[in-house]
Amino acid sequence: MLPLPEHSLRHRLNAEIHSRPPVAIPGPEWISYLAVTHTGGSANDERKHLAQLCSTLGTEVCPVVDGDHWVLDAGALRLKWERHTEFSGYTFFRRRIAGDAEDTTALAAFPEEWVKDIPGEVIAASHIELCAAAQNPPEEVLDGIARRGDAVVATRVAEGAAWVISDFELHDGFSRFTIIDEHLRHRQAGRTVQRILEIETYCMMALLAFPVAKETSRFLGACEKDLAELMEAMSATITPEDERRLLAHLTRLAAEVEQSVTRTAYRFGAAAAYYRLVQQRVEDLREERLAGFPPIREFMERRLAPAMATCQSVAARQADLSTRIARRSALLRTRVDIELERQNQELLVQMNRRAKLQLRLQETVEGLSVVAITYYGSQLVQYLAKGLQKSFVPSLSPEIAAAVSIPVIAGIVALGIRRMRKILAAEADAGH
């Protein structure tokens, strides 16, 4: 027992390392393989469908379908199921017996209706004939192929322990491989079969990005033409309205390109990952070249590598276009901002001019206000003096009293207005 507490995921992660082991193949065997994409189907649908196979075959001991890996061993028939991120693989095994026809397949040994109901769409399908070199001498097989002139791929794998022959063409919907066993160990034979099937599957999954790349390339061509026209128009812009119109067009173009990037990023990234897996599986085969026949590595470099290079080129082109549009948008936005600043500056100058005029008008109004208030104030003093003259001070002259009050009233009003102006200015400064 461990003296320390274990991480909650330790056992799960350790099981993942040992998951999906190759099926040991003790001798000659027929193998069929189907890779189906997940078109809306769930893992539970696949597990229920596998459970139906157990009922159909009537196997007494059927393992519980759990997780993403499952193997059914029904004696002469076996089935291996693996669920991956984008597809599920079904590998069918049937022992080879004397008297089997050349067109025998492992898939034909399983219930036809059950096979038709497998959830998903086929992306890869293969038949493999694993035979012994004693019954099928490799040299004789290759001589027959050379005489027919068939374009095939032939190579020795597993450090010379087996021969692999295929044309990678589809025959009735299936690619066909012949593996001639010279001295493969049981697990080694299973690994060789698994690598061949993975090369076929990952190649197809990687090529899913190729139609996307061609469609995206046409779209990018139109966008690049549009961008070039916008740049020419940008050089000839005169009015701010033209600049704002171009900026709106550039913004819309940037949105379209970013949408394309979002739509294709996963597909291009997955294609690169699948291509690396293909290369790794080809490397794991440890091929030995046969005179007169291209090996699997050469076939993949000649057929798959250009398509992947196209996908990488389109992805890089798309990223570069997005960067260029962003750079042009920033440049044009700067021009628009500078023009707006210039307009704002002109507006501020006009506002300052208007403020000065308003100030002068205010000063004029204030002067007139002093005159008016003084006039009315002196009139009040004159009326008051007339009243005092009749009642209390007969010698008091109303005209003289009014004349004497004029400078006093004017001074008081001027001081009051000045004080009020200071108070208002102080409040305005405090508000800022």
Q: How confident is the model at residue 431 (pLDDT cuts 50, 70, 90)?
A: low
pTM: 0.78
**Residue 60: pLDDT over 80:** no
Question: Does 371 lie in the same domain as 335?
Answer: no
Question: Does 61 lie in the same domain as 128?
Answer: yes
The Cα 62–Cα 83 span in angstroms is 19
Residue 242 in tokens? 């033209």
In a domain, 11, yes or no: no
In a domain, 46, yes or no: yes
The Cα 175–Cα 68 span in angstroms is 25
Question: Does 262 lie in the same domain as 240?
Answer: yes
In a domain, 16, yes or no: no
Instruction: Note the pLDDT tens digit of each residue in 115-162.
Output: 999 999 999 999 999 999 988 898 888 888 777 666 889 999 998 999
Q: How confident is the model at residue 7 (pLDDT cuts 50, 70, 90)?
A: confident
**Selection from 81, 76, 112 nearest residue 93 by Cα:** 76
Do 72 and 91 touch, CB atoms closer than 8 A? no
Strand order, beta sheet including 69-74: 69-74, 77-83, 87-95, 29-37, 121-132, 174-181, 162-171, 153-157, 288-289
Q: Which residues contact 370 (CB under 8 A, 6 or more apart)?
A: 410, 413, 414, 417
**Selection from 314, 320, 126 nearest residue 209 by Cα:** 314
Question: Does 315 lie in the same domain as 216?
Answer: yes
In a domain, 17, yes or no: no
Residue 264 in tokens? 């294709």
Residue 275 in tokens? 């291509």
Question: Does 130 lie in the same domain as 107?
Answer: yes
Question: Does 245 lie in the same domain as 319?
Answer: yes
Question: Does 397 lie in the same domain as 269?
Answer: no
Q: What is the DSSP letter of 2?
A: -
Is 35 or 240 the better-scoring residue by pLDDT? 35
Question: Does 381 lie in the same domain as 281?
Answer: no
Instruction: Note the pLDDT tens digit of each residue in 256-266.
Output: 999 999 999 99
Question: Does 138 lie in the same domain as 52?
Answer: yes
Residue 163 in tokens? 């021969």
- Per-residue pLDDT averaged across 359-366, rounded? 74
Task: Using alpha carbons, list the distances in angstroms from residue 109 to 32, 78, 126, 239.
Answer: 10, 10, 15, 77
Strand-pair partners of 90: 34, 81
Q: How confident is the model at residue 385 (pLDDT cuts 50, 70, 90)?
A: confident
Number of domain units in the chain:
3
In a domain, 315, yes or no: yes
Which range of residues forms the domain containing residue 399?
358-424
Task: Using alpha carbons, list the distances in angstroms from residue 61 to 55, 71, 200, 204.
Answer: 11, 12, 32, 35
Q: Which residues contact 207 (CB under 8 A, 6 or more apart)?
A: 271, 304, 307
- Per-residue pLDDT averaged across 165-194, rounded? 93
In a domain, 7, yes or no: no
In a domain, 350, yes or no: no
In a domain, 5, yes or no: no
Residue 272, pLDDT score: 96
Question: Does 202 lie in the same domain as 77?
Answer: yes
Question: Does 362 lie in the same domain as 303?
Answer: no
Residue 268 in tokens? 């291009």
Question: Does 117 lie in the same domain as 28?
Answer: yes
